[in-house]
Amino acid sequence: METLIANLAHGFSVALSFENLLFALIGCLIGTAIGVLPGIGPVATISLLLPITFGQPPVTAIIMLAGIYYGAQYGGSTTAILLNLPGEVSAVVTTLEGYKMARNGRAGAALAIAAIGSFFAGSVATVLVAASGPLLTSVALSFGPADYFSLMLLGLIISAVLAQGSVLKSIGMVVLGVALGLVGTDVQTGQQRFTFGIPELSDGIGFVAVAMGMFGIAEIILNLEKPEARSVLSTKVGSLWLTRQEWVRATPSVLRGTVVGSVLGILPGGGAALASFGSYMMERRLSKNRHLFGQGAIEGVAGPESANNAASQTSFIPLLTLGIPSNAVMALMVGALIIQGIQPGPRMVEAQPDLFWGLIASMWIGNLMLLIINLPMIGMWVKLLQVPYKYLFPSILIFCAIGSYSINNNVFDVYMTVLFAVFGYMCAKLRMEPAPLLIGFVLGPMMEEHLRRAMLLSRGDPMVFVERPISATLLAIGAVALLAMALPNLRKGKEAALAG
């Protein structure tokens, strides 16, 4: 306990430096902006800002990128409540009750509880990250290569099982991602694999090109194909305060949402979107006022909005303690860390105390900033919403272009981005999920390392994966998860949960 406090104090001293505060604020502002704007999400934004962070110290870079992710959860609710459009995927369910509340003249209350619930959930989740970090790390240090391989395999399986759409196709995308990760120089022999003699590919396919193409550019193309559905704002925001009765109704939902979100955030493949769906389902079942759902029940805003923010914080736990990304945003964080020369893994807490504790402290500070950014300054974001997409998308395109060029100062990366945009567009048309591919792409090279090391240690005996208890347990969980999805009842439950 005392060391925890000492560590947190150290974290605050890092996070409160002028530079880190500034970049936390920038991250939160950008996050809120892209959260408010439909059609651009945190994955695209983080991948296009990655090149900019190269020159910064690692702590500052990660603090800013994290701010974008959880900032987007705050911003997403504004659009959902005021326009009945999700600014982010995680705000889809907020449109159900939030927009009804706005129609009833309680837009201010809905915005307020979304922000306050998010802040509460974010604070709790931050403490959870701080407490579980060192604990999980000490467990992870006893992991051998075989255990790591199984852990990553489990992560990939669960991320595919929990992804939207067909599980089989998602697993296919995971494996395709692993295959893409094979391109480049083989670490142990130095041989070039699948590079076609192109020198730029010897370091592997740039993952910014993959992420930006599949999430950023492909998204723009798909948005342009849909006619613009955004209507001019007619609802007034009204008072930003809640009535006594609303407080009473919302409080238990915030608490439940925090718990659900924290748990679902840790799961591989989980993260903010799943958490808000899960919480909405739970509220509809457990709330005392479930008969009011569909008419603007505050519980349906308070729960999911708390949950998605809690999840966006706790999804850092597997990354910071085990080095395993649980969703596409975390996969980008792995990339950001590796570019900075830090290998994510259980040694990070010890070796990079500034990074670990500084990030945790900054999360809490960032949540506080977001509360202020989102409540008193709501008018500014409403104005931003009035910028039509036809002016917005050329700007996003330019930023993507400059961003992908400046990774290596080479136009090759821009052409790669274009290729992956076409690929992402094709995947969307065929209903193949891009998120599992990105996770497989990031984890693939690490899995190969661990597989080779494990097999070398076991003298080529594959039984090592079932003989080691940790590895066997992890594989068993993965097998159960896969089998569970084969059961029709559970699959329907998942579809219902993800469809809201």
Partner 1 sequence: MKLNAKDIASGVFLVAVAAAGLWLNQEHALGTARRMGPGYMPMLVFWVLMALGGIVLLIGLFNGPDPLEKWTPLDAKSLAAAVAVGLAAYLVAPWLGPLFAQNYADVGLGMLAGFLVLCWAAGWRMLGYVCAALCVFSLLLEKGGLMLAIIGTVVVSAIADPDHRARPLGIVGVTVFLLGLCWWIFIRQLDIRVPVWPWSL
Q: Which residues bind partner 1 (CB under 8 A)?
A: 52, 55, 166, 168-169, 171-172, 175-176, 178-179, 182, 186, 188-189, 191, 193-194, 217, 220-221, 224-225, 390-391, 393-395, 397-398, 400-402, 405-406, 409-412, 414-415, 417-418, 421-422, 425-426, 429-432, 444, 448, 451-452, 455-456, 458-460, 462
Beta carbon nearer to partner 1, 41 or 76: 41
> What contacts 317, CB < 8 A, 6 or more positions away?
128, 129, 132, 133, 136, 265, 266
CB of 394 to partner 1, least distance (A): 5
CB of 56 to partner 1, least distance (A): 10
CB of 71 to partner 1, least distance (A): 19
Q: How far apart are CA 117 and CA 123, in angstroms?
A: 10
Beta carbon nearer to partner 1, 50 or 297: 50
Interaxial angle between packed helices 328-339 and 58-83, expressed in degrees from 0 to 180 and rounded to the nearest 10: 160
Q: How far apart are CA 296 and CA 99, in angstroms?
A: 7
CB of 130 to partner 1, least distance (A): 33
Give SS3 for 59: helix
CB of 458 to partner 1, least distance (A): 8
CB of 340 to partner 1, least distance (A): 17
Closest to 440 in 3D by CA, of 324, 309, 310 = 324
Beta carbon nearer to partner 1, 207 or 423: 423
Beta carbon nearer to partner 1, 3 or 460: 460
Indicate the burial class of 485 (C-beta count within 10 angstroms; 0-12, 13-18, 19 or more): buried
* DSSP bridge pairs for 192: 185
What is the Cα 60 distance to its own chain's centre? 19
* DSSP bridge pairs for 184: 193
Residue 86 backbone zone (phi > 0: left; psi -120 to 50: alpha; other: beta): beta
Beta carbon nearer to partner 1, 124 or 180: 180
Interaxial angle between packed helices 167-182 and 434-457, expressed in degrees from 0 to 180 and rounded to the nearest 10: 60
CB of 454 to partner 1, least distance (A): 10
CB of 433 to partner 1, least distance (A): 11
Beta carbon nearer to partner 1, 10 or 169: 169
Beta carbon nearer to partner 1, 141 or 487: 487
Beta carbon nearer to partner 1, 285 or 459: 459
Residue 324 backbone zone (phi > 0: left; psi -120 to 50: alpha; other: beta): beta
DSSP 398-451: HHHHHHHHHHHT-HHHHHHHHHHHHHHHHHHHTT--HHHHHHHHHHHHHHHHHH
CB of 336 to partner 1, least distance (A): 16
Beta carbon nearer to partner 1, 192 or 289: 192
